[in-house]
Structure 1
Amino acid sequence: MTKFESSVKHILASQAAVFGKLSDLSNLENVKDRLPQDKVKSFSFDSDSLTVEVDPVGKITLQIVEKEPFKCIKFATTTSPLPFNLWIQLLPVTETECKMKLTIGMELNMFMKAMVQKPLEEGVEKLADMLAMIPY
């Protein structure tokens, strides 16, 4: 399994508040306007799944498969050109601050890894930046 990790993001909100917001995907309405319009063709979601269509990748659907209250939210793809998992990990700093890190894990052969490594590293970092900026 190949893993791609974001840098650790500092969020000025409690671990519980961030977990509560991110573990219910219907809260994503206020991030739609932050998506890069030149790359994202469509974006839809309900409480436990989201679907995004991105150039040049295509359609990706992520489903929440596990929640560990206040610490971790795990997603798996149900539709994707390359199946992968995504983990959002949260750690408390104080009662009003926490840290977040995103990890993408996928099975890749050496050829595919060479092709997708840079876009995935950039993508997981941009996603982490976007999630860190949401008002919690």
Structure 2
Amino acid sequence: MSKFESSVKQIPYSQEAVYNLISDLSNLERVRGRIPEDKIKDFSFDKDSVTVNAPMVGSITLQIVERDEPKCVKFESTQSPIAFNLWIQVLPVSETTSKMKVTVKADIPFMLKAMVSGPLQDGVEKIADALAMVPYV
């Protein structure tokens, strides 16, 4: 398994506010308009899962497999070209601010590792950047 971690992102909202939003995927409705349609198509979700269709990757479905309130939400791919887990950790900095990190562990075949490691690391960082910009109110 290969591991990819984002840098730590500062969030100007409390740990509880961030956790409450990311632990219920039906809240994605709030950010639907910010998702570029040329990058992601067929975006659907419910409380516990999200499915996207990305060019050159295909359809990917993530399911929440664990909620550790208020500090972590863990996801597992249920439909993806490569099996992977993703988790979002949220830690308090103060009563009104927190910090976040996104981690992905992927089962990448040895022959593909050199080719996909860079784009995967970039993707993890972009997910963390996007999560850092969400209004958690």
TM-score range, shorter chain: over 0.9
Aligned-residue sequence identity (percent) comes to 60
Distance 1:5 1:58 in 2: 23
2:25 is aligned with 1:22: no
Query: Residue 62 of structure 1 corresponds to which residue in structure 2?
Result: 62
Unaligned runs of at least 5 residues, structure 1: none
* Residues 34, 130 of structure 1: 8 Å contact kept: no
Shift in Å, 1:36: 2.4
User: Structure 2 matches for 1:111-130, cutoff 5 A?
Assistant: 111-130=111-130
Q: Aligned partner of 1:80: which letter?
A: S
Q: Aligned partner of 1:128: which letter?
A: A
Query: Residue 35 of structure 1 corresponds to which residue in structure 2?
Result: 35
Shift in Å, 1:107: 1.7
Unaligned runs of at least 5 residues, structure 2: none
Query: Residue 134 of structure 1 corresponds to which residue in structure 2?
Result: 134
Query: Residue 2 of structure 2 corresponds to which residue in structure 1?
Result: 2
Once superposed, which parts of structure 1, at least 4 consecutive aligned residues long, lie more than 2 Å away? none
Shift in Å, 1:35: 1.7
Length-normalised TM-score, structure 1: 0.96
Q: Find the residue that maps to 2:93 and give its secondary structure.
A: strand
Shift in Å, 1:7: 0.8
Q: Find the residue that maps to 1:124 and give its secondary structure.
A: helix
Shift in Å, 1:72: 0.6
Q: Deviations over 1:105-126 (max 9, x none)?
A: 0122322211211111111111
Distance 2:109 2:40 in 1: 27
Distance 1:30 1:119 in 2: 27
- Alpha-carbon RMSD: 0.9
Length-normalised TM-score, structure 2: 0.96
Q: Aligned partner of 1:84: which letter?
A: F
